[in-house]
Amino acid sequence: MGSPAPRTGAGAPRPGVPEPRTGGPAAGTGDRAPRPGGPAPRPGPAPRAVPATRRRLAWLLAGTLILLLAVLLSLAVGSRQVAPGEVFSALLHGGTSDDAQVVRAFRVPRTVLGVLAGAALALAGTVMQGVTRNPIAEPGVLGVSQGASVGVVCAIAFAGAHSLTGYVWFAFAGAGLASAGVYAVASSGRGGASPVRLALAGAAMNALLASVTSGIVTTNARALDEFRYWQVGSLNGRGSEIIGQIWPFLLAGALLVLAMARGLDALALGDDAAKNLGHHVGLLRVLGALGATVLTGAAVAAVGPIAFTGLAVPHIARALVGTAHRWVLPLAALLGPAMILLSDVVGRVLFPPSEVPVAVMTALIGVPFLIVLVRRKGAVSA
C-alpha cells in the first residue's frame, strides 16, 4: 500500500511546524499535567485580606500597650514621683505609706476618670464624623458641650450647687436638652436631619448657648469664679464618687455606638447607598446622635470641656486601620484615653508644683501631631 495522502485545507499542518499534543494541560499554562497519585498543585498567592487583618490587629495591640503605658505613667508621675514597683505594690497589696496613699486616694480615681472620659470623647467624635460625614466634626458639634456649660452655670447661679458632684447632673441634663434642640431644628422641614442641617443647627445652638453662659457669668461674680474651675477642663480634684455617677451612662453610650459600626460604614457611602443596603438612614442618625450625646454629656459633666480629642483621634485611627468602623471604633477607644492621660502627665511636670489643665495640653500636644499626619497622608474621610 502507498503512503496516506497528506491533509489539505484549513486543518492541514504547515511545513516545519509540529502538530500540537492533545490531552495535555490547557494551553498557555506552562504546567505539566498532574500524574495520578502525585503531589497536588501548589496553591496560588493568599488574598490580601489576611495581611490587612493582621496589620489592624497589630495596631489594636499597639494601642493597648500605649494605653497601659499611659496608665502606669499617670499613676507614677506627678509632683511626687512614685516608683513603678511602689505603684504595683500599692495596687495589689495596699499599704499605709505616703506613696501608697497618694496612688490609691488621688491618682487611681484621676486615672480611671481620664480613661473613661478619653474613650467617651473619642467614640463620640468618631460617631459624629460618621453621622454627619463631616471630617471636622467633633463631640460638641450638636451643642453638647455648650449645653453642659449652661447647665453648670444655672446650677451654680440658681440652684445653689457648689461642688462637682452637685452640678454633674445639671451638666448632663443641659447637654441632652441642647442636643435634642439641635436635632429638632435640623429635622424640621423637607429633607429631614441631613448632615448639613445638623452642622448648621449645631453651630447656631452653640452660639446661642455661649451667649447665655456669658450673660449669666458676667452678672454673677460667684458663678464666674466657680464656673472657671469647671470650664478649664481638668482631671484634678475629681473623686471616685463622680466615677460612680457617670460610668453607667458611658457604658450604655459605648455599647450603642459600637453596635452601629456597620451602619456607619453604610452612611459613609451616602444616604441612597445606605437605603439600598437595607439601613434606615433617619434611625441611624438618631441613634448616632443619641450615643454621642450620652458619651459627651457624661464626660463633659465630669471633667469639663476637653477639646481636640474627639476631633483628632478618629483621624489618627482611620490613618492606621482604614475606614471600617468595626476597627476604627475600638482603636479610637484605646487612643483617646492614652491621649488624655499622656497630656495630663505632661501637664503635671511642665511647671511643677503647678499643673497645666489637660484641656490645654491636649491641644498643645495633639495639634502638631495632627498637622504632621495630615501633611504626610492627608485627612482620611469618614
In tens, the pLDDT along 5-28 reads 555 554 555 555 555 554 444 444
Q: Over the Cα atoms of the chain, what is R_g?
A: 30
In tens, the pLDDT along 335-349 reads 999 999 999 999 998
| Burial label, 165 (beta-carbon count in 10 A; 0-12, 13-18, 19+) | middle
Structure confidence at residue 29 (pLDDT): 46
Structure confidence at residue 24 (pLDDT): 46
Sign of CA pseudo-dihedral 29, 31, 37, 42: negative
| pLDDT band at 34; cut points 50, 70, 90 | low
Structure confidence at residue 300 (pLDDT): 87
Whether 380 has a pLDDT exceeding 80, the answer reads no
DSSP string, 349-360: HHSTTS---HHH
In tens, the pLDDT along 284-315 reads 888 988 898 889 888 988 888 888 888 889 98
E strand spans, the chain = none
| pLDDT band at 66; cut points 50, 70, 90 | very high
CA 194 – CA 182 distance, rounded (Å): 12
Percent of the chain surpassing pLDDT 70: 83
Question: What would the grid cell of residue 308 be?
Answer: 481636640
382, 363 Cβ separation under 8 angstroms = no
Structure confidence at residue 190 (pLDDT): 73
Structure confidence at residue 43 (pLDDT): 56
Whether omega for the bond prior to residue 25 falls within 30 degrees of 0, making it cis, is no
CB atoms within 10 A of CB 52: 14
Whether 112 has a pLDDT exceeding 90, the answer reads yes
CA 145 – CA 151 distance, rounded (Å): 10
Helix axes 358-377, 309-321, angle to 10 degrees: 40
Whether 59 has a pLDDT exceeding 80, the answer reads yes
**Backbone conformation region of residue 308, classed left if phi is above 0, alpha if psi is from -120 to 50, else beta:** left
CA 368 – CA 67 distance, rounded (Å): 20
Average confidence (pLDDT) over 323-342? 94
CA 76 – CA 71 distance, rounded (Å): 9
Percent of the chain surpassing pLDDT 90: 24
Question: What would the grid cell of residue 201 be?
Answer: 443647627
User: Residue 86, CB half-sphere, CA atoms under 13 Å: how many?
Assistant: 17
Average confidence (pLDDT) over 66-79? 93
CA 56 – CA 62 distance, rounded (Å): 10
In tens, the pLDDT along 212-269 reads 988 988 888 877 887 887 788 888 878 788 888 889 989 999 999 999 999 998 988 8
Cα–Cα separations (whole angstroms), residue 153 to 215, 216, 225, 236, 308? 10, 7, 11, 20, 23
- Residue whose C-alpha cell is 424640621: 188
DSSP string, 241-278: HHHHHHHHHHHHHHHHHHTTHHHHHHHHT-HHHHHHTT
| pLDDT band at 124; cut points 50, 70, 90 | very high
The highest-confidence range among 70-79, 284-293, 347-356, by mean pLDDT, is 70-79
CA 95 – CA 325 distance, rounded (Å): 44
Q: What are the phi and psi torsion angles at 334 (to 5°)? A: -90, -40
Whether 54 has a pLDDT exceeding 80, the answer reads yes
Helix axes 195-218, 144-158, angle to 10 degrees: 20
More confident residue, 143 or 35: 143
Average pLDDT score over the chain: 81
More confident residue, 279 or 9: 279
Question: What would the grid cell of residue 256 be?
Answer: 450603642
CA 61 – CA 55 distance, rounded (Å): 10
Structure confidence at residue 49 (pLDDT): 58
Task: Report the range of poorest mean pLDDT among 88-92, 123-127, 153-157, 377-381.
Answer: 377-381
Structure confidence at residue 75 (pLDDT): 93
Average confidence (pLDDT) over 138-167? 82
CA 179 – CA 145 distance, rounded (Å): 9
Residue closest to 298 by CA, chosen among 163, 176, 129, 159: 176
Cα–Cα separations (whole angstroms), residue 346 to 79, 349, 361, 364, 369? 11, 5, 7, 10, 15
More confident residue, 133 or 57: 57
CA 320 – CA 318 distance, rounded (Å): 5
